[in-house]
Amino acid sequence: MQRLRHLSILLLVFVGCCVELSAQRVSIQTHLDRSEIRIGERAAVEMTIRTDNLAATRFHLVEDSTGNERFRVLEFGALDTINVGGTIQEIKARMIITSFDSTLITIPPIVVETPSGSAVSKPLALNVVSPEVDLQHPDRFKPIQDPWDEPYTLKDILILIWTSWITYVAILIALVLLFIYEYKRRMEYMKEPEPVYQPPTTAFETFLTQLEALKGMRLEEQVDFKVYYTSLTSAVRSYLVQVLHFDALEKTTDELLEALHTYSLNSDYLRTIEELMRVGDFVKFAKSLPLRSEVEQATRSIYEQTKAFHLAWLAQQEKAATAGKEVAE
């Protein structure tokens, strides 16, 4: 079998030589850049090809009896093209091969064909050897390293995000939470505010609030004094209504003073109320125009007398409550 293989190769070489003699316009020369490689290494077949018709030139390997599976062609390409005269073109080409068999392999001839003729290269021999392994020193063997992870680009990250089901679940959860938040916010907006507890205001606190409102009032014309005294006398009447529990707002000045004499008011407080009501009637109905200092003095007097009366009234109320509790016990 081996002899037949060699005879076929010699026959092809002979035929190639005959063709080359008959057609000098087509030729091919090849050589290896190395005669020996280790398993998996690369070797280059350098080729010089002459042709008279570059566009119609074709190449192919001659298959021997064992086939071409003992080596693999990794790359094939032209490096340069030179015009050597007339229509003759010279091509510099390279074929990169490798092998994974530890043996002497034969690279079969390469056939160049053109319409005017053909040429055949010589077969090449390449020795493929196994790498040397030092079994005497196994500790020198390096462990197999994991492949390096290629860093992710921004595009890769975006693709991972948008193609992941986690992204859609997160978006759904966010929409649900947004809906719940908006629903609660609208319900809070539509809900009536709960009434804020306000402790009951005492009669004297209401009286003080009304007096505070009178501060800073404009007192220049007669109508200003009329408004001032109307508000001041109304504040006193409202206080008396809450403390003494009688209809002081609907009574005239004389009726009010007559009714107050039936209550245990001290003389100073009663006199101050009477003076205030009389002056107020003059200002409101007789268009009297008091001095500003008189107005301030009347306001200060009624405040002080009402405060003193209120403190005495509170003490009296507390004393009565204590006595009632003792009787009940």
pLDDT digits (tens, 9 = 90+) for 44-92: 999 999 998 888 888 888 876 655 578 888 998 888 999 988 888 899 9
Q: Which of 26-40, 135-149, 175-189, 286-300 is the least confident region?
A: 135-149
The model's confidence at residue 10, banded by pLDDT at 50, 70 and 90, is very low
The pLDDT, as a whole number, for residue 200 is 57
The pLDDT, as a whole number, for residue 244 is 85
Q: What contacts 56, CB < 8 A, 6 or more positions away?
A: 114, 115
d(CA 15, CA 318): 142
Contact, 56 vs 26, CB < 8 A? no
Mean pLDDT throughout 13-26? 53
Q: Is the pLDDT of residue 248 over 50?
A: yes
Phi-psi region of 195 (alpha: psi -120 to 50; beta: other; left: phi over 0): beta
d(CA 116, CA 23): 8
Which amino acid belongs to residue 261? H
Mean pLDDT throughout 197-223? 81
Q: By C-alpha distance, which of 236, 234, 285 is closest to 260?
A: 236
The pLDDT, as a whole number, for residue 7 is 44
- What confidence tens digit (pLDDT) does each residue in 131-157 have? 877 677 777 767 777 776 777 788 888
Q: Which whole-number Å values give the CA distances from 306 to 172, 235, 242, 275, in the listed order?
A: 69, 11, 13, 14
Mean pLDDT throughout 106-114? 90
Q: If you count DSSP H runs as helices and E runs as strands, how many of each does the chain have, helices first?
A: 8, 10
